[in-house]
A and B are shown apart, each in its own frame.
Chain A
Amino acid sequence: MSAGTLYDKVWDLHRVAELPGGSSQLFIGLHLIHEVTSPQAFAGLKDLGLSVRHPERTVATVDHIVPTTSQARPFADPLAEEMLATLEANCAAHGITLHGLGSGRQGIVHVIAPELGLTQPGMTVACGDSHTSTHGAFGAIAFGIGTSQVRDVLASQSLAMGKLRVRRIWVDGQLQPGVYAKDLVLHVIRTLGVKGGVGYAYEFAGPAIEALSMEERMTLCNMAIEGGARCGYVNPDRTTFDYLQGRPFAPSGEAWDRAVAWWSSLASGADAVFDDEVRFDAAAIAPTVTWGITPGQGIGVDETVPTLEQTEPDERPLAEEAYRYMDLQPGAPIAGTPVDVCFIGSCTNGRLSDLQAAAAVAKGRQVAPGIKAFVVPGSEQVAAAAEAEGLDQVFVAAGFEWREPGCSMCLAMNPDRLEGRQISASSSNRNFKGRQGSASGRTLLMSPAMVAAAAITGRVSDVRELLQA
């Protein structure tokens, strides 16, 4: 049983009580809501005659359903308009801050909470969205919840939860040029599987993790859930504190020093005990691409689609389903696979450094004929920062579309979607069947720089070759 880890310390601090059913009541420090998973929670609250216990600890934005072309109201889609109007009414009725369109602070919920300084080390963070694991990058314990639990947090600022085991994922070495946090996490999931993390929190640690920027750590923790781990985290350090200092909701003045002392005290100690540990060497990781229908079906860009013989027996039915659905041949190289659509954005890879990495590849080049390529900044702040350094112009000159912030084609609850059997190179997080809005659409997950390389060449390409050219 784990002891002395950040997870244990934060759990103990936030544990309110043991519940009769055997689970724990856990206090939630920060509750993030959006338009998709909250309306029924507010309705449930009303049915029970309850109010919001800590409206100041709940923060809202709108991201899933917003169009990324014109964001003028009312939206062309009446259902999308109804969802946003419902969120606005609920926030107004309960005194909850909503960072709405045009506020300068709107964006994907997992992009804006960190950039506003809302997400801080040592907090418990819950949101009705599985990619809430993103916030673990700050040394928070952050996890996705369902709508009934959103209702519970609104009503009580707490949840009924069971404690997870803790697996340390220790990464030695250093990522090579052209290899990014996205490749690292796809490699981890490829190795441990999409079910490997069920029942665990993942602590990411080691020299390669300490060297990551906060935005890279967010990419890593974002996809912990794709490996089955409901939360993933990195211990807070100087990189964390430097990122937070000066942000709107971060402490300042003398409170800052007290905050840093408290945050530092929560990191896993040298004597921390983990339930499990797995080691990786960052230097051995290549740009990684998925070929199948789960995020665990990934390979290095220089590898071939695994054959059945190369696949564990119990994974073979899924591999056969993936061959059929993706129309890729076992044993064939993944490099050179033609793509139709290239999408850069999402809560995984829609931050400034992601756009910078993609722009470095796109600069002075042209999107291949017939390819639809578009860039969706993760937030209004990301868009403004990117435009201030001219990244939008780099993309537009290269033939990419430059869009308004939102979740876009990661999950197709807005007008951005694949059509028919189109195949996308995507910087998002899920390659499930039908995920990007067409029931037969296909998704290849990769880093934003790799998506840019695919857009330029029209096919899956090793970005390292373009970076050297």
Chain B
Amino acid sequence: MTSPAPFPSGPITAVCGTTVVVRGDDIDTDRIIPARFLKCVTFDALGPAAFADDRAELAQAVAGPHPFDRPEHQGATILLVNRNFGCGSSREHAPQALMRWGIRAVVGESFAEIFHGNCLALGIPCLVAGHEQMLAIQEAAAAAPAEPFELDVAAARLQGADRVWELELAGGPRQMLVSGQWDATGQLVANDAGLRSTASRLPYLSGFAAA
């Protein structure tokens, strides 16, 4: 299901929409997007492949289908997960697949660092909730799949199903998202003088030439 919603751009102050709960700790990026889908030179086709093997496994199972295949979650924008989500491979294909499926924000107990950075670079906020709090959020969301939730990025607050949860979002990422400066490329390239000055104090860049 490729999302019709535009990809993130500019300041990311809030994400509103329905939710989808994917439970479990240590869900790695091989599960989010299996390696065979990495054989591509663009990210365009990744949306339908999000969680491909998990979805296939659950399609026929008693516990199935996978949340991404349930009709009530089509169009969901807020993904609700547990601990160490996105561990393993650095593949940006993982957040790209989620984004192209429709996800615009993730709330979980904790995130693997590279995944978190990759999401930030795409303008997808990853907010953190405590363990009991996360279970409560997932329970409330699962019970009200049609209800839109509102994630206030600036305030790090999730609202929905007549409840409000205070979340955590580190100051750096929060400022980058809210100010629209989460895409750092322009800032990095602009600092030519700083790059030159740093390079000049690294002796290996000149092959350890005599000073």
Interface residues of A (CB under 8 A from B): 13-17, 19-23, 25, 27, 29, 36-37, 39-40, 43, 48, 50, 53, 57, 64-65, 77, 79-80, 82-83, 86, 120, 122-123, 128-130, 132, 143-149, 151-152, 155-162, 194-195, 198-199, 228, 230, 251, 254-256, 258-259, 262, 294, 314-315, 317-318, 321, 411-413, 430, 432-435, 437, 439-440
Chain B window 64-88, contacts with chain A (Cβ cutoff 8 Å), 1 for yes, 0 for no: 0000000000000000000110011
Can you spell out 12 A-B residue pairs with CB atoms less than 8 angstroms apart? A23-B176, A36-B38, A37-B91, A53-B195, A147-B118, A148-B122, A152-B188, A195-B83, A259-B204, A317-B25, A432-B31, A433-B30
> How far is it, in angstroms, between the C-alpha of A83 and the C-alpha of B37 when the chains are bound?
13
Contact A439 B112 (CB under 8 A): no
Please encode chain B, from 177 to 211, with 1 for each CB lying within 8 Å of some chain A CB and 0 for all others. Answer: 00101111101110100110111011111011110
Cross-chain contact A19 with B184 (CB below 8 angstroms) = yes
CB-based closest 7 A-B pairs: A22-B172, A21-B176, A146-B92, A146-B118, A144-B90, A148-B121, A156-B188
> What is the bound-complex CA distance between A437 and B39, given in angstroms?
13
Chain A, Cβ-Cβ closest to B185: A152
Which of A14, A37, A432 has the most chain B CB atoms closer than 10 A to its own CB? A432
Tell me the smallest distance from the CB of B126 to a CB of chain A, in Å: 13
Contact residues in B for A195 (Cβ distance below 8 Å) = 26, 83-84, 87, 110
Q: A120-B204, A314-B131, A439-B56 are in contact. List 4 more A-B contacts (CB 8 A).
A: A36-B38, A40-B43, A194-B26, A195-B110
Do the beta carbons of B34 and A439 come within 8 Å of each other? yes
For A37, the chain B residues whose CB sits under 8 A away are 90-92
Complex CA distance for A422 and B97, rounded to whole angstroms: 28
Chain B proximity of A19: nearest CB distance (Å): 6
CB-CB under 8 A from A162, the residues of chain B are 170, 172
**B53 at the A/B interface (Cβ < 8 Å)?**
yes
A110 CB, min distance to chain B CBs, angstroms: 12
Report if A27-B35 is in contact (Cβ < 8 Å); known contacts: A20-B181, A21-B173, A43-B42. no
Interface residue count on the B side (C-beta < 8 Å) = 68
A412 to B35, CA, bound (A): 7
- Is B36 among interface residues, defined by CB-CB distance under 8 A? yes
* Closest A residue to B84 using CB positions: A195
Give the shortest distance, in Å, between A448 (CB) and chain B (any CB).
22
Partner of A40, one of B41, B203, B210: B41
Task: Decide if A432 touches B175 in the complex (CB within 8 Å).
Answer: no
Chain A contacts for B181, CB-based, 8 A: 19-21
Q: Tell me which residues across on chain A come within 8 A of B202, comparing CB atoms.
A: 13-14, 27, 29
Judged by a CB distance under 8 angstroms, whether B89 is at the interface is yes
Q: Please report the C-alpha to C-alpha distance between residue A440 and residue B60 in the assembled complex, in whole angstroms.
A: 14
Q: Which residues of A contact B210 (CB under 8 A)?
A: 254-255, 258
Complex CA–CA separation, A123 to B176 (angstroms): 27
B39 pairs with A65, CB closer than 8 A:
yes
Tell me if B30 and A430 are in contact (CB < 8 A): yes
- Scan B6-36; emit 1 where CB is below 8 A from any A CB, else 0: 0000000000000000001110101100111
- Bound-state CA distance A294–B24 (Å) is 13
- Are A155 and B43 within 8 A (Cβ)? no
Are B88 and A155 touching (Cβ within 8 A)? Answer: no
Measured between beta carbons, the chain A residues less than 8 angstroms from B197 are 16
Which chain A positions have C-beta within 8 A of B188? 25, 152, 155-156, 158-160
The verdict on A21 contacting B26 (CB below 8 Å), with A40-B41, A130-B89 known, is: no
**Contact status B31-A151, CB under 8 Å:** no
- In the assembled complex, how far is the CB of residue A425 from the closest CB belonging to chain B, in whole angstroms? 19
Given contacts A22-B172, A22-B176, A146-B117, contact A79 B39 (CB under 8 A): yes
Is the CB–CB distance between B34 and A160 below 8 Å?
Answer: no
By beta carbon, the residue of chain B nearest A17 is B194
Is B57 a contact partner of A148 (Cβ separation < 8 A)? Answer: no
Instruction: Determine the chain A residues whose CB is within 8 A of the CB of B199 once the complex forms.
Output: 27, 157
Closest chain B residue to A255, Cβ basis? B208
B187 near A20 with CB under 8 A, answer yes
Pick the residue among A40, A198, A228, A255 that contacts B209 (CB under 8 A): A255
Interchain CB contact under 8 A, B184 and A230: no
Whether B114 sits at the interface, judged by CB under 8 Å, is yes
Asked, given contacts A50-B189, A144-B114, whether A21 binds B204 with beta carbons under 8 Å apart, the answer is: no
| Complexed CA–CA distance, A15 and B194 (Å) | 9
Which residues in B have their C-beta under 8 angstroms from that of A259? 203-204, 208
**Contact across chains for B198 and A16 when beta carbons are under 8 A apart:** yes
Q: Evaluate contact between B203 and A262: CB separation under 8 angstroms.
A: yes
One of A25, A198, A439 near B113 (C-beta < 8 A)? A198
Contact assessment for B36 and A437 in the assembled complex, using a CB-CB cutoff below 8 Å: yes
In the complex, are the beta carbons of B204 and A122 less than 8 A apart?
yes
- B195 close to A158 (CB less than 8 A): yes
- Taken together as a complex, chains A and B put the C-alpha atoms of A81 and B91 apart, in Å, by 20
Known: A48-B185, A155-B189. A258 touches B203 (CB 8 A): yes
- Whether B4 sits at the interface, judged by CB under 8 Å, is no
Contact among B30, B35, B112, B185 with A155 in the assembled complex (CB-CB below 8 Å):
B185
Give chain A residues whose Cβ lies under 8 Å from the Cβ of B191. 16-17, 25, 156, 158
Is A439 a contact partner of B57 (Cβ separation < 8 A)?
Answer: yes
Task: Establish whether residues A251 and B207, one from each chain, have CB atoms under 8 Å apart when the complex forms.
Answer: yes
**A122 to chain B: which residues have CB within 8 Å?**
204
A254 and B211 alpha carbons, distance in the complex (Å): 12
Specify which chain B residues have a CB less than 8 angstroms from the CB of A156 in the assembled complex.
Answer: 185, 188-189, 191, 195
Does the CB pair A82–B92 fall under 8 Å?
Answer: no
Whether the Cβ atoms of B195 and A19 lie closer than 8 Å is no
Choose one: B30, B40, B185; the contact of A432 (CB below 8 Å): B30
In the complex, A441 Cα to B36 Cα: how many Å?
14
- Tell me whether B204 and A123 are in contact (CB under 8 A): yes
Chain A residues closer than 8 Å to B83, beta-carbon distance:
195
Q: Which residues of A contact B56 (CB under 8 A)?
A: 439
Q: Is the CB of B205 within 8 A of A29?
A: yes
Q: What is the CA–CA distance of A23 and B208 in the complex, to the nearest angstrom?
A: 30
Encoded as 1 (CB less than 8 Å from any A CB) or 0, chain B from 90 to 120 comes to: 1111010000000000000010111001100
**A145/B114 in contact, CB under 8 A:** yes
CA distance A432 to B201 in the complex (A): 42
Which one of A14, A251, A434 contacts B198 once the chains associate, using CB atoms below 8 Å?
A14
A151 to B114, CA, bound (A): 15
